[in-house]
Amino acid sequence: MNRIDKKLEEEGKLLSIYFTAGYPNLNDTKDIIIRLQESGVDMIEIGLPFSDPLADGPTIQDSSTIAIKNGMNTNILFDQLKGIRDEVSIPLIIMGYFNPMLQYGVEAFCKKCNEIGIDGLIIPDLPIDYYEENYKALFEENKLYNMFLIAPQTSDKRIRKIDSISNGFIYMVSSSSITGSKDSFSSEQINYFERIEKMNLDTPRIIGFGVGNKETFDAAVGYSKGAIIGSAFIKNLHESGVSSIDSFIKSIR
């Protein structure tokens, strides 16, 4: 069974953390992953930095820019993750845009993920129909889950389609805007959460975008299996460094 499924079957609500590989320093990647696991995080999304991250807010964009300047690229990330499964047992997901994966070679990328022990991918700009036609079999061959995103403007028909093809979880984007943490959710966002809840989807949902403190985490997990924190975590890395990871996670839970 995929580690993501095992984690989703556990009781309680899940906390997933996103960070940009190679940030704040090139060789912090493995240390951050290990510290996150030690702090009790349930899943980790490793961001593959890209020069044009259109869906990301300024915090994640800046971290990607710095990571690239630090020298991070796909080959270095894979080198950094060699042997990670000797020390880390929780699900690891690579989140990134399709262009770097295409440049690396999608088949080679998937095989490398399988070899290292990556459990799944989140690729915001890979259309579901294109994935289904060209890459679904390749992902399955390499035991990789592909998590799709839905947002407030996503039609019910498309949501049903995503639900029918999904494994792992559906990444439920909390708003139509770019990433970035906020202090609370609006009434419109709560209405959206309630609308999706009433659809009784088969696939578990994890809410991301706009989750950045205990209040928003608690609100999000009231309508889903878990929540993803990215921008707030990266801000904390910038302000307080890698050594502050445990205290940041404790402030959320």
Which residues form the catalytic set? 45, 56
For residue 224, the one-letter residue type is S
For tokens 């971290």, the residue is 63
The pair of three-digit structure tokens given for residue 243, joined into one six-digit string: 């050594």
> Are the beta carbons of 110 and 78 closer than 8 angstroms?
no
The answer to whether the CB of 48 falls within 8 A of the CB of 67 is no
CB atoms within 10 A of CB 9: 9
Task: Give the span between the Cα atoms of 252 and 4, in whole angstroms.
Answer: 21
Pick from 190, 171, 170, 187: nearest CA to 230: 171
Say if CB 64 and CB 53 are below 8 A apart.
yes
Which residue's structure tokens are 């049903």? 160
Whether the ω angle into residue 49 lies within 30 degrees of 0, i.e. cis, is: no
